[in-house]
Amino acid sequence: MATENKNPQVAVVMGSDSDMPVMESCINQLRDFGLTPTVRVISAHRTPAAADEFAANAAKNGIKVIIAAAGMAAHLAGSIAGRTELPVIGVPMQASTGPCGLDALLSTVQMPPGVPVASMAIGKAGAKNAAIFATQILALSDEAVAAKLSDFRQAQTQKVLDKDAALQK
Protein backbone atom coordinates (compact mmCIF):
# COMPACT_ATOMS: atom_id res chain seq x y z
CA MET A 1 0.00 0.00 0.00
CA ALA A 2 1.34 3.48 -0.78
CA THR A 3 -0.20 6.83 0.07
CA GLU A 4 0.03 9.89 -2.25
CA ASN A 5 2.38 12.41 -0.76
CA LYS A 6 4.11 15.32 -2.45
CA ASN A 7 6.53 16.13 0.34
CA PRO A 8 7.18 13.09 2.48
CA GLN A 9 9.83 13.53 5.14
CA VAL A 10 9.01 10.42 7.10
CA ALA A 11 8.44 6.95 5.69
CA VAL A 12 6.56 4.37 7.72
CA VAL A 13 7.19 0.86 6.42
CA MET A 14 5.87 -2.36 7.89
CA GLY A 15 6.53 -6.01 7.19
CA SER A 16 2.89 -6.99 6.75
CA ASP A 17 -0.51 -5.35 6.58
CA SER A 18 -1.20 -7.34 9.76
CA ASP A 19 1.04 -4.74 11.48
CA MET A 20 -1.25 -1.88 10.41
CA PRO A 21 -3.65 -1.90 13.40
CA VAL A 22 -0.67 -1.16 15.67
CA MET A 23 1.16 1.15 13.27
CA GLU A 24 -1.94 3.29 12.84
CA SER A 25 -1.03 4.94 16.14
CA CYS A 26 2.33 5.91 14.62
CA ILE A 27 0.78 7.26 11.44
CA ASN A 28 -1.91 9.16 13.37
CA GLN A 29 0.67 10.68 15.70
CA LEU A 30 2.73 11.90 12.74
CA ARG A 31 -0.40 13.41 11.19
CA ASP A 32 -1.16 15.16 14.48
CA PHE A 33 2.23 16.86 14.09
CA GLY A 34 1.21 17.99 10.60
CA LEU A 35 3.43 15.44 8.88
CA THR A 36 2.16 13.29 6.02
CA PRO A 37 4.22 10.12 5.96
CA THR A 38 4.68 7.82 3.03
CA VAL A 39 3.26 4.46 4.16
CA ARG A 40 4.44 1.19 2.63
CA VAL A 41 4.09 -2.53 3.30
CA ILE A 42 7.50 -3.99 2.48
CA SER A 43 8.98 -7.22 3.78
CA ALA A 44 12.68 -7.96 4.19
CA HIS A 45 11.86 -11.63 3.53
CA ARG A 46 8.81 -11.72 1.26
CA THR A 47 9.66 -8.71 -0.95
CA PRO A 48 13.44 -8.28 -0.55
CA ALA A 49 13.86 -6.51 -3.91
CA ALA A 50 11.25 -3.91 -2.92
CA ALA A 51 12.95 -3.42 0.44
CA ASP A 52 16.28 -2.88 -1.27
CA GLU A 53 14.83 -0.50 -3.86
CA PHE A 54 12.99 1.50 -1.18
CA ALA A 55 16.05 1.85 1.07
CA ALA A 56 18.45 2.67 -1.76
CA ASN A 57 16.20 5.49 -3.07
CA ALA A 58 14.69 6.87 0.16
CA ALA A 59 17.11 9.80 0.58
CA LYS A 60 16.83 10.91 -3.02
CA ASN A 61 13.03 10.73 -2.68
CA GLY A 62 13.23 13.35 0.08
CA ILE A 63 12.79 11.03 3.04
CA LYS A 64 14.69 12.17 6.15
CA VAL A 65 13.69 9.54 8.69
CA ILE A 66 12.51 5.96 8.21
CA ILE A 67 10.30 4.11 10.68
CA ALA A 68 10.33 0.36 10.10
CA ALA A 69 8.03 -2.05 11.94
CA ALA A 70 8.19 -5.82 11.79
CA GLY A 71 7.41 -8.87 13.85
CA MET A 72 8.97 -12.31 14.39
CA ALA A 73 12.50 -12.37 12.82
CA ALA A 74 12.25 -8.60 12.43
CA HIS A 75 14.98 -7.83 9.91
CA LEU A 76 13.22 -5.00 8.10
CA ALA A 77 14.67 -2.06 10.06
CA GLY A 78 18.16 -3.54 10.07
CA SER A 79 18.21 -4.43 6.41
CA ILE A 80 17.03 -0.93 5.49
CA ALA A 81 19.63 0.62 7.81
CA GLY A 82 22.30 -1.33 5.98
CA ARG A 83 21.27 0.24 2.68
CA THR A 84 20.83 3.92 3.65
CA GLU A 85 22.56 6.54 5.77
CA LEU A 86 19.20 7.97 6.89
CA PRO A 87 18.25 7.44 10.55
CA VAL A 88 16.14 4.29 10.93
CA ILE A 89 13.75 3.81 13.84
CA GLY A 90 12.66 0.23 14.48
CA VAL A 91 9.36 -0.82 16.01
CA PRO A 92 9.12 -4.46 17.13
CA MET A 93 5.68 -5.95 16.50
CA GLN A 94 4.00 -8.67 18.48
CA ALA A 95 2.98 -11.11 15.74
CA SER A 96 -0.05 -13.37 16.20
CA THR A 97 2.34 -16.27 16.78
CA GLY A 98 5.59 -16.01 18.72
CA PRO A 99 6.83 -15.00 22.16
CA CYS A 100 5.14 -11.67 22.96
CA GLY A 101 7.26 -9.61 20.57
CA LEU A 102 10.51 -10.37 22.41
CA ASP A 103 11.74 -12.17 19.29
CA ALA A 104 11.12 -9.00 17.24
CA LEU A 105 12.61 -6.72 19.89
CA LEU A 106 15.89 -8.61 19.91
CA SER A 107 15.95 -8.89 16.10
CA THR A 108 15.45 -5.13 15.86
CA VAL A 109 17.75 -3.90 18.60
CA GLN A 110 20.72 -6.25 18.30
CA MET A 111 22.43 -4.54 15.39
CA PRO A 112 26.13 -5.06 14.79
CA PRO A 113 28.32 -2.04 15.59
CA GLY A 114 28.43 0.39 12.68
CA VAL A 115 24.80 0.08 11.54
CA PRO A 116 22.49 1.42 14.26
CA VAL A 117 18.71 1.11 14.48
CA ALA A 118 16.95 3.22 17.12
CA SER A 119 14.71 0.54 18.58
CA MET A 120 11.49 1.52 20.29
CA ALA A 121 9.32 -0.50 22.69
CA ILE A 122 7.21 -3.43 21.46
CA GLY A 123 3.82 -2.62 19.97
CA LYS A 124 1.62 0.46 20.32
CA ALA A 125 3.84 2.37 22.77
CA GLY A 126 6.78 1.89 20.43
CA ALA A 127 4.71 2.86 17.41
CA LYS A 128 3.66 6.14 19.02
CA ASN A 129 7.17 6.86 20.32
CA ALA A 130 8.63 6.18 16.87
CA ALA A 131 6.47 9.00 15.50
CA ILE A 132 7.54 11.34 18.29
CA PHE A 133 11.21 10.41 17.91
CA ALA A 134 11.08 10.97 14.14
CA THR A 135 9.45 14.34 14.79
CA GLN A 136 12.19 15.23 17.29
CA ILE A 137 14.78 14.57 14.56
CA LEU A 138 12.92 16.77 12.05
CA ALA A 139 12.41 19.47 14.71
CA LEU A 140 16.18 20.03 14.87
CA SER A 141 16.00 21.79 11.51
CA ASP A 142 12.34 22.84 11.25
CA GLU A 143 10.93 25.49 13.61
CA ALA A 144 7.29 24.81 12.73
CA VAL A 145 7.68 21.14 13.58
CA ALA A 146 9.58 22.06 16.77
CA ALA A 147 6.66 24.30 17.84
CA LYS A 148 4.15 21.46 17.32
CA LEU A 149 6.35 19.14 19.34
CA SER A 150 6.54 21.68 22.18
CA ASP A 151 2.74 22.07 22.17
CA PHE A 152 2.36 18.29 22.32
CA ARG A 153 4.74 17.97 25.28
CA GLN A 154 3.04 20.79 27.18
CA ALA A 155 -0.43 19.36 26.55
CA GLN A 156 0.74 15.93 27.68
CA THR A 157 2.15 17.38 30.90
CA GLN A 158 -0.97 19.44 31.52
CA LYS A 159 -3.20 16.38 31.10
CA VAL A 160 -1.38 14.57 33.91
CA LEU A 161 -1.38 17.67 36.14
CA ASP A 162 -5.14 18.07 35.58
CA LYS A 163 -5.79 14.42 36.47
CA ASP A 164 -3.72 14.77 39.62
CA ALA A 165 -5.48 18.03 40.55
CA ALA A 166 -8.89 16.35 40.07
CA LEU A 167 -7.85 13.62 42.50
CA GLN A 168 -6.97 16.21 45.15
CA LYS A 169 -10.51 17.70 45.14
Kindly list the residues in this chain that would bind ligand RP5 in the complex (CB under 6 A): 14-16, 18-19, 43, 70-72, 93, 95
Contacts of 26 (CB under 8 A, 6+ apart): 12, 67, 69, 91, 127, 128, 130, 131
Beta strands in 72-162 (DSSP E): 88-93, 118-119
Contacts of 101 (CB under 8 A, 6+ apart): 71, 92, 93, 94, 95, 122, 123
Min CB(65)–ligand RP5 separation in Å: 19
DSSP at 69: E
Min CB(45)–ligand RP5 separation in Å: 6
Min CB(153)–ligand RP5 separation in Å: 30
Min CB(147)–ligand RP5 separation in Å: 34
- The kind and range of the H/E element at 148 are helix 143-168
- Is 16 annotated as contributing to ligand binding? yes
Q: How far from chain centre, in Å, is Cα 167? A: 35
- H helices of 7-89, in order, are 20-32, 48-57, 76-81
> In terms of CB distance, is 26 or 72 closer to ligand RP5?
72
Binding residues for substrate: 16, 19, 46
